[in-house]
A = this chain, B = another copy of it.
Amino acid sequence: MERKDYLKEPVDHIKIDAALTVDQLMQQFKNSGSLGAGRLAAACDIYEKMLKDKDCTVFLALSGAVVPAGMRTIVTDLIRRKLVDVIVCTGASMVHDAIEAIGGHHYKGTCAANDSELYKYHLFRIYDIYVPEEDYVKLDFQLSEMYAEIAKERKGESLSSEEFTWEIGKRLADKHSILRAAYEENVPIFIPALRDSEFGFIHWLHSSQKNQKNVLQVDAFKDVPTICGICVKSPKNGMIVIGGGVPRNTIQSSALASKKGLDYAVVITLDRPEAGGLSGSTLEETVSWGKMKGEADHVMVIGDALMIFPFLVASVTERIGPEFKRTPFFQLNRTVGKVN
């Protein structure tokens, strides 16, 4: 590279002198094009590109307090508008969704709360949010009934985590529910660590009930061929990661196991690479494994995803406009349990 090649694009300065739409500001971030604002603008470009690439399946990884942070409707709308094709998430995320689906709520509070008093009052704290225990009890009761019903229908057949969420979504009436929307729109939700959440502990109650004839079976490995099958069938695969952990790892590993390698990747995280954990690892590192292609469009945005993801969604929503229609490449055939 010659010296002049390094000096091609000066940083343009962002100008804010009137009301701006989110995407107007994002376009300015693209012009400045450096540091955090530059990375966020790049993330928007990549997501837009994924959506307009007819060959690309869009995976969304969710971890952290997505629902308590007020992002439930954002995810539901992405599903209904066919702007995500597959979700991989923590169990807690869908427990939070189910809590609200049955009429429960997350309440605004403070991180400086007196936790002993909260304990006394049976209020559970998630940073600056409270959830009353009775909402969990109600959930336990309803899920327990659903488990028995599903088990009865399945007659001893084991479910995958993705069939589990489909069955739960089918039984939730709330249109605003992520699980319900995913059921209606046939967007699979994978929960690789399903047992590490209220879903697992309710199962314990369910299975230890006296005279319980039908115990729900979930096979730990059954969703592996399904998610890998999606990667295999899709000409291209892209992911957007909120946070990290198991959901990010599952998508990346599926891209590897299916010998495809991701074509697009956006990660929003506060985790850092030096500690060696998966959540903070660079996307460059994934290239060595074949989890992501060397030529993939990719960016890591360093920040709190629960603050930043809405800006990304708002920017891209504005770009594609209300008329935008997208037909997912991939379609799960529920009748035969295969990827079409």
Contact = CB atoms under 8 A, between A and B. Distances in A.
Contacts of A301: 307
B250 A274 contact: no
Contact of A68 (B34, B302, B303): B34
B218 A127 contact: no
Copies of this subunit: 4
Interface of A is mostly: mixed
Given A34-B127, A128-B34, A196 B73 contact: no
A286 B74 CA distance: 28
A69 B276 contact: yes
A284 B115 CA distance: 6
A180 interface: no
A210 interface: no
A275 B36 contact: yes
Nearest to A75: B13
Contacts of A137: none
Nearest to A275: B304
A237 B204 CA distance: 20
A277 B201 contact: no
Interface in A11-26: 11-23, 25
A167 interface: no
Contact of A306 (B37, B63, B221): B37
A141 interface: no
A194 interface: yes
Interface string A280-309: 010011111110001000000111111110
Interface residues of A, number: 136
A228 interface: yes
Contacts of A304: 35-36, 274-275, 302-303
Interface stretch (A46-54, A181-189, A310-318, A326-334): A310-318
B123 A288 contact: yes
Interface of A: 1, 3, 6-23, 25, 28-29, 31-40, 63-65, 68-74, 77, 81, 92, 105-109, 111-113, 115-119, 121, 123-130, 132, 158, 161, 176, 192-197, 200-201, 203-204, 207-208, 216-221, 223-225, 228, 243, 245-246, 249-250, 253, 257, 270-279, 281, 284-290, 294, 301-308, 310-311, 313-314, 317-318, 321-322
15 contacts: A7-B132, A14-B310, A16-B74, A20-B318, A21-B22, A35-B129, A38-B128, A115-B294, A118-B288, A126-B281, A127-B285, A193-B246, A201-B253, A274-B302, A275-B306
5 smallest A-B Cβ distances: which pairs? A32-B70, A36-B307, A193-B193, A65-B276, A118-B288
